[in-house]
Amino acid sequence: MKIAQIVPSLKPTGPVNVALDLAKTFRQLGHQVHFFYFDELPGAVQEEASKITLSQPVNWDGYDVVHSHGLRPDQYIRRHYRSMPITVSTLHNYVRQELTFSYGKMVAAFFTPVWSWFCAKHDANVALSHHMKLYYFKFWRNQNLVHIPNTRIIDLKPNQERVAEVGKIAAGRKILGSVSHLTKRKGTKQIFPFLEQNKDWVYVHIGGGNTQELIKKAAYFGVEDRCFFMGAKERGWEYAAAFDVFILPSYSEGFPLSLMEAVQIGVPVVCSGLPVFNEIFSPKEICLFELENTKSLQQAVFKALTDKDELVRNAKSRFESEYHPTIVAKQYLELYNYLG
């Protein structure tokens, strides 16, 4: 089978990582993959790929499926679908929530139906969880919605220099850490009251985003000297291996890749009590807390630390049985064959 993957760029972040990991696994299973992308960005990976524009037609002869990841790729398919083979899109977030947190309610109200229109001619739209599938079904009833989870491939060989770098920052204190691009949706501000009450903990974040507002909030709670924003790093999970507890305090998530990374490297995870987290892993595998509830957060963090071995073991087992790259790639291949 020959598969085309359309992505915004070949910079390995977010949905692009999913596309890259799927491509690697598809090839291992004997299939061909070629990427099409729009933007030349620093840090892009070397791939079998072609740069295109939204208006540029492509000769799709020989391709069995075109798989898109993101708004512009979906827009491209809508524009050119008549000349394409089977088309599939992966929906990587809860679109209205994502747009509201990033751009406000007015932009979200406008672009949600626009994105729906972009996806209306796809042969299938993949939701990353059953909860996400139901979410989209509320206002995309005419779409063919299918559930397939995300996956992640990482190098599990420890990077001792990066682990030591984080350890030096912590100076013997417990480390609560996260890896993400910081936005309001990530809910990071909820960590500061926990730090105020627990002087023997520090917070370490790996990832880009605007940290100025968060630093001000940390200062309000008097914990700015125990908050370390280390910026965007390639292979951020190598720093996360030093964390005592990995935290995702998000207000909204699609299917966070950092969660898959933390589980694989063996760090106990604390997540906000979103339906998607409840679905992806059970309380025997991760610890959940109630949003905006510092006491609940504290209980979850301490439980993760106390029950680390059992939680890590159970979460790894769940990953291997449901989210391993080979399992996820085969689900996509089954979908492609079904649509064909």
Domain match, 278 and 316 both: yes
Q: Which residue type sits at 23?
A: A
Domain match, 133 and 219 both: no
Domain match, 16 and 104 both: yes
Q: How far apart are CA 226 and CA 211, in angstroms?
A: 14
Domain match, 147 and 35 both: yes
Domain match, 22 and 139 both: yes
Q: Indicate which CATH number applies to the domain containing 220.
A: 3.40.50.2000
pLDDT-derived band at 102, boundaries 50, 70, 90: low
Q: Do the beta carbons of residue 126 and residue 92 sit within 8 Å? A: no
Domain match, 175 and 28 both: no
Domain match, 104 and 224 both: no
Regarding pTM above 0.75, the answer is yes
pLDDT tens per residue across span 5-50: 999 999 998 899 999 999 999 999 999 999 999 999 998 999 999 9
pLDDT of residue 58: 96
Domain count, the chain: 2
Q: How far apart are CA 294 and CA 25, in angstroms?
A: 41
Domain match, 40 and 127 both: yes
pLDDT tens per residue across span 204-256: 999 998 899 999 999 999 999 999 999 999 899 999 999 999 999 999 888 99
Domain match, 181 and 281 both: yes
Which residues face 39 on adjacent strands? 9
Domain match, 172 and 249 both: yes
pLDDT of residue 143: 75
Range of the domain at 183: 160-322
pLDDT tens per residue across span 146-195: 999 999 999 888 899 999 999 999 999 999 999 999 988 899 999 999 99
Q: Is the confidence at residue 108, as pLDDT, over 90?
A: no
Domain match, 302 and 328 both: no
Domain match, 132 and 226 both: no
DSSP state of 44: P
Q: For the chain, give me the number of helices (H) and strands (E)? A: 14, 13
